[in-house]
Amino acid sequence: MPGLRLVSGSNAGICFLAILVFCILAFAGCTDNEPDDTTDLVSENEPNDTLVQATGIPVGVTVIGTVDQGDDFADFFIFSVFVSGSYTMTLSGFGANDLDLLLYDRNGLMLARANSDGASREIVRFLDVDVQYVIEVRAVDAPSTTAYTLRIDG
Ligand SMILES: [Ca+2]
Ligand SMILES: [Ca+2]
């Protein structure tokens, strides 16, 4: 009987330890792309001028960056979603200059392009949990360094 208790006790201990380790790993995984502050703001990370240079960004966080028609003509970001569903990708804050917002799959197949006039660009699309997506912010008419904000929201 004491032996049985010991076995079940250590099983519970191992189980608790496994859950604890899983939680720590899950937490570490979740916080990989999280910003360090509480303002939910992350900056772009150059070089990111091509699809293969795309840097990871999280969903639901405001990304800030700059482009221009010179060396920094494009910024690429890669992301995936935790749940399949409809998502809105919004590019704004670029003032009177003209930037386009493009969505690709990881292989470079273009899925959508927002190139309207106005103060913002928006793509609304069903995104699959099993697919890695790439966003491009492209300088179309941006003679000087142009700041922007980018968000992906579910
Ligand atoms: Ca940039
Ligand atoms: Ca760039």
CATH of the domain at 126: 2.60.120.380
- Dist CA 42 CA 99 (whole Å): 19
pLDDT greater at residue 18 or residue 111: 111
pLDDT, tens digit (0-9, with 9 covering 90-100), for 19-34: 555 545 555 544 444 4
pLDDT of residue 40: 84
Same domain, 45 and 28: no
Between the CA of 66 and the centroid of ligand 2 the distance, in Å, is 8
**CA 130 from centre of chain:** 14
pLDDT of residue 37: 46
Between the CA of 8 and the centroid of ligand 2 the distance, in Å, is 57
Between the CA of 58 and the centroid of ligand 2 the distance, in Å, is 18
pLDDT of residue 31: 47
Instruction: Write down the pTM of the prediction.
Output: 0.75
**CA 106 from centre of chain:** 13
Backbone angles phi, psi at 130, to 5 degrees: -90, 0
Q: How many domains does the chain have?
A: 2
Residues 6+ apart with CB under 8 A from 101: 89, 90, 91, 113, 114, 115, 121, 122, 123, 135, 136, 137, 138, 150
Element (DSSP H or E) covering residue 28: helix 2-31
Between the CA of 137 and the centroid of ligand 2 the distance, in Å, is 8
pLDDT, tens digit (0-9, with 9 covering 90-100), for 33-58: 444 445 689 999 999 999 999 999 99
- Containing domain of residue 67, as a range? 41-153
Between the CA of 23 and the centroid of ligand 1 the distance, in Å, is 35
How far is the CA of 42 from the CAs of 34, 35, 79, 114, in angstroms? 8, 6, 14, 22
Burial class (CB within 10 angstroms; exposed 0-12, middle 13-18, buried 19+) of 49: middle
Same domain, 20 and 54: no
Same domain, 5 and 60: no
